[in-house]
Homo-oligomer: A and B are copies of this chain.
Amino acid sequence: MSSATAAATSAPTANAANALKASKAPKKGKLQVSLKTPKGTKDWADSDMVIREAIFSTLSGLFKKHGGVTIDTPVFELREILAGKYGEDSKLIYNLEDQGGELCSLRYDLTVPFARYVAMNNIQSIKRYHIAKVYRRDQPAMTKGRMREFYQCDFDVAGTFESMVPDSECLSILVEGLTSLGIKDFKIKLNHRKILDGIFQIAGVKDEDVRKISSAVDKLDKSPWEAVKKEMTEEKGQSEETADKIGEYVKLNGSLKEIHAVLSADANITSNEKAKQGLDDIATLMKYTEAFDIDSFISFDLSLARGLDYYTGLIYEVVTSASAPPENASELKKKAKSAEDASEFVGVGSIAAGGRYDNLVNMFSEASGKKSTQIPCVGISFGVERIFSLIKQRINSSTTIKPTATQVFVMAFGGGKDWTGYLPERMKVTKQLWDAGIEAEYVYKAKANPRKQFDAAEKAGCHIAVILGKEEYLEGKLRVKRLGQEFADDDGELVSAADIVPIVQEKLSQIHEDGLNEVTRLIKGL
């Protein structure tokens, strides 16, 4: 007790309060620690980890299929590299403390580090993929996969190529990726920054107002037109007329073919240089999306604006039915005003997104004093945690996913006064299996009864038991037995200890001959 408490003895009320404080305070001389991860972050383990790794392996396989090479950049960048790239979202960047030396920040996405890498190494063309964590000090919605630390899976193509060719491949990768993850009810919302810029010009928005009006339009997926119009006129200084003109266009959405036809018949659009460029791109794109047979997934949606500053051409975003917030979101939000977690009143949001950014690499080249070189880029990013939350919903909660890879459990059965438990002997046999590349375990006990060993084998999800019988082992024999309910009455077969590796290999290949494993089936939604 501190002297402050002693001094308070004459004032019973204060004393009681102090006593209460003391009971909550850490014990004397002990450090009090909160056993938790920082806000918006979590530990991944068990079957969640297995599912997430399967998503990574599906996507990295996909990226490799398209000729991608992978790179890895540091988790933090010099602060100046990230400055001025993210518009209003820059406030969400995590900074490292100034402990002497350079000022650094955690990366906010993988795109800006990629552009820095391309500029720094004077790379003329590359298809790269990168699966890594990014950091945003946003309000988390953990069960919806919206976190402060989360993975992005990015594929980007840098280099000067035929118009819309890498763009259409990125769209095909989106479709291939999501389909291979068992997601079927998705829609790629697609727009073109130049068409949007043209519309703003047509409506009379000044050049310097374009970004802020663009960010207002971007809210149309969450807010009704009236609210967005109000933001444009009352907060962002546009005339009623300008807002209405924008409204006419941004309400348009449909297939590439439909909206292309509507815009092509609009003299305002075709006579606006920027809009016309964008429209020509769309016409080219349509040839390629048809070749890739992905038209049915695309919705040309003039309300899509995307917040980031660096996009210059095609932009796209993938949504599913789970993307939108619940209908009574604002009501739920009011109720949970001081909520640490926004899961209740937000949707999953977009599950993948991307676009073309032709100036970002050059921005770095010029700012660093290098020769100005235009390296156009286009890319996509899969939001793994959000996709994970969809797959989790789909997986039946009774499905058990085995987090270990263990195939074989090595046991010893015996008894009597001289029974040692054969621990070093079990180690020797297990080591032989390991050396042959076979996943194997044994219990970490000198003596264990058969029941305990079978339980451990079952817990590890093993298929085969290799048993050292007290007498059999001395005769150079091991017993090999299939595990599982249906083999309960099967005593297995006695084999020569010298042949144990090939015999186990043969049995395992029979067990796994059916091909696709359980996790792959689950991920693919089969």
A residues neighboring B (CB under 8 Å): 26, 30-39, 41-46, 49, 52-53, 61, 64-78, 80-81, 83-84, 94-99, 101-102, 104, 106, 116-117, 119-121, 128, 133, 135, 137, 149, 157, 159, 161-162, 165-166, 168-169, 172, 176, 287-288, 290-293, 364, 366-370, 403-406, 423-425, 427-428, 431, 434-435, 437-441, 444-446, 460
With A43-B120, A161-B445 known, 16 other A-B pairs at CB within 8 A are A31-B367, A36-B78, A38-B78, A38-B104, A39-B101, A41-B76, A65-B437, A65-B440, A66-B434, A67-B405, A75-B133, A95-B99, A172-B431, A172-B434, A291-B425, A292-B431
Q: How far is the CB of A70 from chain B (nearest CB, A)?
A: 6
Q: Give the residue of B96, B165, B370 whose beta carbon is less than 8 angstroms from that of A96.
A: B96
Q: Give the residue of B49, B75, B444 whose beta carbon is less than 8 angstroms from that of A71.
A: B49
Pick the most buried of A46, A75, A84: most chain B CB atoms within 10 A of its CB.
Answer: A75
In the complex, A428→B288 CA distance in Å? 9
7 shortest interchain CB distances as A-B pairs: A161-B444, A41-B74, A291-B424, A95-B97, A291-B427, A64-B405, A44-B72
Known: A41-B74, A45-B69. A119 touches B30 (CB 8 A): no
Q: Give the residue of B43, B176, B428, B439 whose beta carbon is less than 8 angstroms from that of A73.
A: B43
Q: Give the residue of B42, B176, B293, B424 whose beta carbon is less than 8 angstroms from that of A74.
A: B42
Q: Is the CB of A36 within 8 A of B290?
A: no
Chain B residues whose C-beta falls within 8 Å of the C-beta of A71 in the assembled complex: 43-45, 49
Q: Give the residue of B367, B434, B444 whose beta carbon is less than 8 angstroms from that of A166.
A: B444
In the complex, A13→B142 CA distance in Å? 63
19 interchain pairs, CB-CB under 8 A: A31-B367, A35-B116, A43-B74, A43-B121, A44-B73, A49-B71, A49-B72, A52-B72, A75-B135, A76-B149, A94-B97, A95-B97, A97-B97, A97-B98, A99-B137, A161-B444, A165-B444, A172-B434, A288-B424
Q: Is the CB of A38 within 8 A of B102?
A: yes
Q: Is the CB of A293 within 8 A of B34?
A: no
Chain B residues whose C-beta falls within 8 Å of the C-beta of A106 in the assembled complex: 75, 96
Chain B residues whose C-beta falls within 8 Å of the C-beta of A46 in the assembled complex: 69
Chain B residues whose C-beta falls within 8 Å of the C-beta of A366 in the assembled complex: 30
